[in-house]
A and B are shown apart, each in its own frame.
Chain A
C-alpha cells in the first residue's frame, strides 16, 4: 500500500520537476515548482514526519512560491523568458550525470533497512513539548523572534529605499 502511494507521489514529483525546467513560460515553471514542493511534503507525510510536511507546505509552498510569483509579477512582460540553449552544456551534463550516478551507488550501497523512519519523533506534539516544556529553551525561542524582527525590518528598509526612488 505504502509503496504504491510512494510511487505515485514520486512520479508526480519527478514529472513536475521536469516541468519546472522544461516549461516555456515562467509562470508554468513556478506552478510546476509548487506541485513539486507539495509532493515532497507528501513524501514527508508518508514518512510520518508530519511537522516537516506542514513546514514544507507553509514555508516552501506558501512563502517561497509567493515570493517567486511576486517577483514574476514585478518584472516587465517584455522581459519574456527565452529558453535559450546555453552555448556549452556538456560540462553541466557531465557533472550532473556523475553526481546522479554517485548518488545512485550511495543509495543502493547502503543498508536502509535498518532505518525505520521517525515514527514518533517528528510528530507535532513531541516537537511542541520539546520546544515549550523545557525552561532553558525559552531564550533561544525568543531570539528567533528577534531574528525574524531583524529580517522584517531589514526587508522593509531595503524595499522602501528601492520604492522611494
Chain B
C-alpha cells in the first residue's frame, strides 16, 4: 500500500481523459447519423476545405531539430524537478547552482538561434 492512495486523482484523470473523446465520438455518431449517404459526406473533415493527399507526408527536417532541442530541455527538466521540490529547504547556494546550470544550457539555445535552427528555410511550406 502506501502511495496508491496518492495516485487516485491521476487514475480519475486518466479515466476522464479516456472517456471524454469516447463520449464525444459516440454522441456525434448519434447526432450525425447519415440518412442519405453521399460520397462527399464521407470526406475527411479538414476545416471545410476539400482534403488533398495523404495525411502522412514528408515533413520538413526543421521539425526534427525542434524535437531534438525539446529532448535536451526535457532532460534538463528532470534535474530541475527535484530542485523545485526541495527549494524551500535548501539555501541560496543550490539556487545559484541551478542558475549556472540553466545558463550553460541557455548557451545551447543561443547557439541554435544563431545557427538559424529556429527559422524555416523555405517560408514554412512543408509539402513537396
Contacts and interface: CB of A to CB of B under 8 A. Distances in A.
Nearest to A69: B67
B75 A148 contact: yes
B82 A131 contact: yes
A125 B75 contact: no
Interface in A128-159: 128-129, 131-133, 135, 138, 141-142, 144-146, 148-149, 151-153, 155-156, 159
Interface residues of A, number: 51
A62 interface: yes
B106 to A, nearest CB: 9
B58 interface: yes
B111 A70 contact: no
Given A125-B86, A152-B108, A119 B2 contact: yes
A152 B58 contact: no
Contacts of A2: 1, 4
Interface stretch (B19-27, B33-41, B43-51, B96-104): B96-104
A162 B83 CA distance: 37
B57 A142 contact: no
B102 to A, nearest CB: 8
A83 B105 CA distance: 41
Interface of A: 1-2, 5, 27, 45-46, 48, 50-51, 54-55, 58-59, 62-63, 66-67, 70-71, 73-77, 119, 124-125, 127-129, 131-133, 135, 138, 141-142, 144-146, 148-149, 151-153, 155-156, 159-160, 162-163
Interface of B: 1-4, 7, 54, 56-59, 61-65, 67-72, 74-79, 81-86, 89-90, 93-94, 97-98, 100-102, 104-105, 107-108, 111-112, 115-117, 121
